[in-house]
Amino acid sequence: MTGTEAALHAEPAAAIAGAAGDLVRLRAWRDADRAPFAALNADAEVMRHFPAPLSPAQSDAMIDRIVAHHHRHGFGLWALEVDGRFAGFVGLSTATFDAPFTPAVEIGWRLARWAWGRGAATTAARRVLDAAPRFGVDEVLSFTATSNARSAAVMRRIGMVRDADSDFEHPNVPEGSALRPHVLYRWRPSAPPPTTRERGMPPSA
């Protein structure tokens, strides 16, 4: 492994990473991801539902924050590969901005345009949601600008449920911006089926 290929934090468990040869893989970030990540963060279409595209320096700083989050929490936004090529991220992050539902753990995704339309975000996000309880996360949220239909579609595909009562104005988006109103979706792991004792039935029933 060369210096640029070294993982910047722990690799995810196999249940999150996927199996060798899968179309979609999740892995730890590497310094080699900085250039393709800067390219997708500079793409106006990828960043259409954010206030602005990111400069290379802002993109690098985001990777540094993501890596620090992994070190601090033991989970985070993982680097995504599609067909063996870096394509963006899917994963979990802590939301701490001021809102009635924070602090919370959110699931998020950002893919280069060439990787859209193949189910890659959905495939990776399903793995991440399934694994969330192992990080002690008992509820996962996701939110996006009201206009971001593609992102909300991923939320619904992975089984998240809209909580319209919790839709909100994102405090980090300037007032008056069309991107400020956000929709909020929630997910909890399904409860295990009740035991016979919990159902109040005799053990042999």
Residue numbers at the binding site for ligand COA (CB under 6 A): 46, 49, 108-111, 116-122, 144, 148, 150-151, 154, 157
Q: Give CA angle at 90 (154, 156), nearest 5°.
A: 15
Nearer to ligand COA, 7 or 56 (CB): 56
**Pairing between strand 161-162 and 85-95?**
unpaired
Min dist. Cβ of residue 109 to ligand COA (A): 4
Torsion on CA atoms 15, 155, 115, 97, rounded to nearest 10: -90
Nearer to ligand COA, 7 or 168 (CB): 168
Nearer to ligand COA, 7 or 27 (CB): 27
d(CA 63, CA 192): 37
Nearer to ligand COA, 117 or 194 (CB): 117
Min dist. Cβ of residue 82 to ligand COA (A): 10
Min dist. Cβ of residue 4 to ligand COA (A): 24
Min dist. Cβ of residue 142 to ligand COA (A): 7
Min dist. Cβ of residue 6 to ligand COA (A): 26
**Pairing between strand 140-145 and 104-111?**
parallel
d(CA 184, CA 141): 7
To the nearest 10 degrees (0 to 180), the angle between helices 120-131 and 149-157 is 50
d(CA 64, CA 167): 30
Min dist. Cβ of residue 203 to ligand COA (A): 42
Nearer to ligand COA, 63 or 111 (CB): 111
Structure tokens at 188: 């909890």
Side-chain-side CA neighbours of residue 197 (13 Å): 0
Q: Which residue is nearest to ligand COA, using beta carbons?
A: 119
Nearer to ligand COA, 172 or 195 (CB): 172
